[in-house]
Chain A
C-alpha cells in the first residue's frame, strides 16, 4: 500500500489551511516583529508535524501488525537487546532538528530584541509603559503626554517601550504587533515593536497580578503619521496636565477607563534606575536612591513600610564610587543604555 500519497496530501492541505489562521491573533501579525514570530511558529509547527508523523506511523504499524490474535497464539517474541544503528539514527536526526531550530531561535530572538531591520535608521519613538493595579500608564517623554489604558502609535515607526511596574510583575503584550515582556518594579525592560498596518489592536497584561488581572486590557491604536502628530497636538492643547497629587490618586484607583494628560509622571516619579537621559558625567550616585522600587514607591513608604536600614554598615545601599573612575556597569544599566543588545 502506498502510504506516501495520503501523507503528502495531508501536508499539502495543512499548508493550504494555515493561511486561514487569521482568526488566531498570533498568526495574524501586523508588524515586522510579530511577523517574524508568526513565521517562526508556523515553521516549528511544520517541523513538529513531521516528527509526529514519524511516531504515529510507526505506532499504528506496530500495534496493528503485532497485536495478539488467535492466529499467533503460540508466538514467542524474540529476545532483542537493541540495535546500535537505529539508536544512532534516532539520536542524530533529532540532534539535527534541534540544531536547526536552535539556529532559527537565536536568529529570530535577536531580531525581535532589536529594532526591526526596515526601521534601523530611525530614532525609535520611546514610550514608557508602567503598570499599577490594575491599569497601564503610557508616558511619551518626547511628546510630553501621557495616556492611561490606551496607547496610540504612528504606523511605520519603530517604537521602543520601556517598561516597569509600580507593584506586581506584569507583562505587556500586544499579540498582533510583538511578543510580550515583563514589567517589574526594580528594573526597566525594553520591548521593540512597530506596526505596518493602521488599525486597532488589543493589548493585555499576560502575567497574573491578582484580583483585577482579567480587566487589564488596553487598546493599541496604530495611526497614520499625520494622524498621530495631530492627536499629540490635540492632547497637548486640550488635556489637563498630570500633577503629582492627581497621579497618586490615579495609582490608588483599581479600575479606570481611558485617561489622557498633557504631561507625564516621569519628572516627579522617575522609573527605576533610569540613566537613559543622562550622560556618564552627570550621574551622581550620592543623589540617587538605590533602594529598589521607583521613587513613588519610596516616597509612599508609609503605605509600604520597610525596616530602617542601619546607617554606616558595608551593606549600606549607597555605593561610593570614585568619581574619576569609569562607572561600574550593571546588567540593569545595559537594559537602559544599550536597548539594542
Chain B
C-alpha cells in the first residue's frame, strides 16, 4: 500500500497544523478523563435527541469552523497583500481558498443557521420537539463527521484544490490526481444527506406540530422563513447528491460523466452544481431574513410591517431561486437568448428582496428603537447588504457580467451579501437567543465593541475588491506582479481583514467574559419578547412547555402580555419524551470511516463500513424504544423551581 498518498509535504504551516490537531485532541481526551466527564459527554450530548442540545452542538461546530475558515481567509489576504508574496505557493493557496469556501458556506453558515433553527423553531411554534428527534440527531452527526472528513484532508492526503465549485475537467482525476477532490465528493455527500434529512424534518415539524390556534399566517416570521428554506432544501439538495455521486464515480470508478473523453460533459457538472448552488445561497439567506424580522420587531417594539407581503416575497424568492442558476456561467457560450432569459429572472429577484427591505424600514418607522448588540448587526445589514444586492443586479446583466465574471468584483459582491446577510444574522441571532438557552445575556458593551470592529473592517476589507475587479484582477490568483498596480488596494483589504479578526476575537472573548461575570436572568424573557420561545422558563426545561399554549394571534406572547390574553389554559399532565440513543453518533462515526476509505480507495474497509451503515440503519428502523414519560408531579415541580418558588 502506497503510504505516500497519505502524507502532505513540506510546509511548516501544515506541520504546525498537524501538531496543533494532535495536541488539541490529546488535550480534549486528557481533560475529559481528568474531570471524569466521559459519562456526562455520552449521556448528555453524544446521545441526545433534544433539539435544543442538538442546536447548541451545531452552533458550537459552526463557531469552530468560523475560526478555521477565518484563518484560511487571513492566509489568503496575507498572501495577496503585496505583489509576489512568498507566504503560500500556488498549490497551497489553491487548497486554502477551496477549503475557505467549502467551510464557510457548508460548515459554518449552514450549521449555524440549522443550529438556530433547531433551538428555536419548536419553541416558536409551541411544540415540544421536532417531528423526528432521532433523525435530527442523525442529521447533526452526519454533518459533523462530514465536516471532520473535510478538515482531516489538510493533514492526511491533501485538501481539495479545484475551488469550492470544483469545475471539471479540473476536478477530474486527469487534472487533480491526488485524493483532495475525493474528500470533496465524500465529505459534502455525507453532510448533504444530513441536511436533506433536516429539510424533511422541519417541514413536517412546522406543518404538523404547531400549537393549537397557530394558523400558518399567525406563525412568527422566522418560522415562515425556515419553512420555506426547508422546502428549498428538499428540492435542491438531491441535485447535489446526484452531482457528487457522479463525481465520485468519475474519480473512483472510471466513469465518464464529466470528463474530457468519451462523451463526458464538463458543462454538465457546472449546470448540476449551480442548480443546487444557487438555491443553496437562498437557503443560507432566507432564515437570516427571518432572524432580522424577529429582531427588528422586538427592538423597535412594533409588529412586523406587511406580514403578508413578507411571506409572499419569500415564496417568490424561493421559486425564482430555481430559475436563475445559469447566471453563474453567462460566459460559458450559451448565447444571447439563454443569457437574456436568466438575466431577467435574476434581476427579478431584486423585486421581492426590495419589498422586504422597505417593510423592515417601515417596521422601524414609528417604533421606539433600542440600539443593543443584536439590533446593531440587524440595522447594519440594511445599508451594507443593499450594496451587495445592487451589485448583484449589476452582475445579473449578462453583457456587463462578461467583464465582471470571475473577477474580484464578483468576490466583493458575494461577500457583501453573505457576510452582512447571513453572518451578521447568525451573530445577531446568537446574541438575541443566547439568554434563552444559557440563562444570561452576553455583555452588551463588549458586544457593541466587537460589532463596530467587524462592521467597519468588513467594508475596508471588501469594498476595495470592487475596484480591483474593474482593474482586471481575477479571483483565485495566488499572486500578481507589481506592474498590475493591484498592490495598494490589496494591502488595504488586508488591513481590513486584521480588523475583522480583532472583531471576531472580541466576540469570542465576550462569550468567555459573560459566562464568568454576567448576572443570571430568571425571567426567561430578557428582551420583552413577542414570540412564544420567550414564554418558557430559563433554562428551558427538557419538555419546553409544561402545557401546550393556545394561540389566538400573531406575536402570541406579546398579546398575552399586553392584552391579557391567556396562553396556557390546560392542566399539566404527564409528558411523552423520546429516549436518548447512541445510534446516530455511531452511524456518524461509521460514515466517517466509510468516506475516508472511499477517499483512499481502500475497498475492503469501505465495504465493511458500508455494511456497518446498513446494520445501524436497520437497528434504527426496528427500534422498539418508544420513549418515556415525565410524570406530571415532576413537571409541576420543575415549573415551580423556574418561577423561583420553593418546591
Contacts and interface: CB of A to CB of B under 8 A. Distances in A.
A298 to B, nearest CB: 8
B368 A68 contact: yes
B383 A66 contact: no
A48 B393 contact: yes
B264 interface: yes
A111 B398 CA distance: 12
A91 interface: yes
A168 B172 CA distance: 9
Contact of B169 (A24, A27, A169, A171): A169
A208 B260 contact: no
A197 interface: no
A112 B399 contact: yes
Interface string B474-490: 11111110001100000
Contacts of B266: 169, 184-186
Contact of A182 (B303, B332, B336, B367): B332
A82 B308 contact: yes
Contacts of B308: 82
B355 A90 contact: yes
Nearest to B169: A168
A283 to B, nearest CB: 20
B622 to A, nearest CB: 41
Interface stretch (A33-41, A142-150, A234-242, A243-251): A33-41
Given A182-B332, A185-B169, A40 B397 contact: yes
Contact of B402 (A37, A59, A63, A184): A37
B383 A56 contact: yes
B124 to A, nearest CB: 20
Interface stretch (B219-227, B337-345, B595-603, B637-645): B337-345
Contact of A179 (B264, B344, B362, B402): B402
B403 to A, nearest CB: 5
Given A168-B169, A186-B265, A44 B351 contact: no
Contact of A78 (B333, B339, B366): B366
**Which residue among B350, B402, B472 has the maximum number of chain A CB atoms within 10 Å of its CB?**
B402
B359 interface: yes
Contacts of B168: 169
Interface string A59-88: 100110111100010011111111100110
Interface string A173-203: 1010011111011110110000000000010
A224 interface: no
A135 interface: no
B562 to A, nearest CB: 9
A204 B371 CA distance: 48
A126 interface: no
B332 to A, nearest CB: 5
B508 interface: no
A79 B300 CA distance: 12
A278 interface: no
Contacts of B477: 213-214
Among A26, A81, A105, A293, the one with the most B-chain Cβ atoms within 10 Å of its Cβ is A105
Given A171-B405, A175-B403, A214-B478, A67 B369 contact: yes
Contacts of A24: 467, 470-471
B550 interface: no
Interface stretch (B8-16, B285-293, B384-392, B417-425): B384-392
A48 B386 CA distance: 10
Contacts of A334: 335
A167 B169 contact: yes
Contacts of A253: none
B335 A113 contact: yes
Contacts of A52: 386-387, 390
Contacts of A179: 331, 399, 401-403, 405
B339 to A, nearest CB: 6
Nearest to B401: A179
A54 B355 CA distance: 13
B365 A55 contact: no
Nearest to A176: B472
Nearest to B477: A214
B472 A181 contact: no
Contacts of A26: 403-404, 469-472
B262 interface: yes
A292 B357 contact: no
B511 interface: no
Contact of A171 (B94, B301, B331): B331
A101 B368 CA distance: 38
A43 to B, nearest CB: 9
A75 B404 CA distance: 49
Interface string B158-201: 00011100011110001110000000000000000000000000
Contact of A90 (B347, B354, B394, B476): B354
A143 to B, nearest CB: 25
B400 interface: yes
B90 interface: yes
B405 A214 contact: no
Interface stretch (A2-10, A152-160, A259-267, A302-310): A302-310
Interface string B244-282: 000000000010100111111111000000000000000
B25 interface: no
Given A41-B394, A95-B351, A179-B399, A63 B174 contact: no
A66 B90 CA distance: 52
A82 B359 contact: yes
Contact of B340 (A67, A106, A133): A106
B45 interface: no
B472 A25 contact: yes
B215 interface: no
B291 to A, nearest CB: 19
Top 7 A-B pairs, shortest CB-CB distance: A179-B402, A82-B306, A48-B390, A189-B333, A306-B261, A108-B399, A77-B302
Given A206-B405, A210-B176, 18 more contacts: A21-B470, A24-B470, A25-B470, A26-B403, A48-B391, A55-B383, A58-B361, A80-B362, A81-B303, A82-B306, A98-B347, A102-B343, A105-B343, A105-B398, A202-B484, A208-B476, A292-B261, A317-B262
11 contacts: A38-B403, A40-B397, A44-B393, A52-B387, A81-B307, A90-B354, A98-B350, A102-B344, A167-B169, A304-B174, A307-B256
